[in-house]
Amino acid sequence: MEGVDISQFKHLIVVPTLAALGLGSPSAVNLVTGTALAESRGAYLRQINGGPALGFWQMEPATHDDCWENFLNFPAQSRLKRVLEGMLSNDLPKCAQLVSNLRYASAMARIRFYRVGAPLPTADDAMELSLYHKQHYNTYRGAADPAANAPLFRRAVQA
């Protein structure tokens, strides 16, 4: 992250946010922190070249909305939905808060991974975290390169 202390970012934003969700294992924390580094380097709040992705986690509005419509709005997820709603401010639409609300944006990144259902990699395996990010967040259509991003996930692990 350019100009941002990764350790502060991880421990002051990601850790308490994921703990509030009840989804804050060390693997999840490193995965969500590393994803912010891999997706935006912690520097871009809008996708470069006019793409739709928003925030440090570069979540697309369609992905955000799908998380709500096809996961969070179901009764089985009522606890997660309540926690997320508590993170929202009243003056912006949910999707716009991916840019301005770090807590909400990190929570939504975790929800995206949580929906996958595949076991998370071990917390200290940067390459496996990077591969998991590529497969379950960036997808085969995305530009992420797991080998090139592994050092970013290593930084997340070490923070």
Higher-scoring residue by pLDDT: 138, 110: 110
DSSP assigned state of 121: P
Identify whether the C-beta of residue 94 lies closer than 8 Å to the C-beta of residue 59. Answer: no
- 26-40, 41-55, 111-125: the lowest-pLDDT one: 41-55
Residue 1 — pLDDT band, cuts 50, 70, 90? low
| Torsions phi, psi for 25 (to 5 deg) | -65, 160
The chain-wide mean pLDDT, for the chain, equals 95
Q: What is the pTM of this model?
A: 0.95
Q: Scanning the structure block, which residue is given the tokens 């090139």?
A: 148
Higher-scoring residue by pLDDT: 14, 49: 14
Q: What is the pLDDT of residue 72?
A: 98
Buried b (16+ CB within 10 A) or exposed e, 52-72: ebbbbbbbeeebbeebbeebb
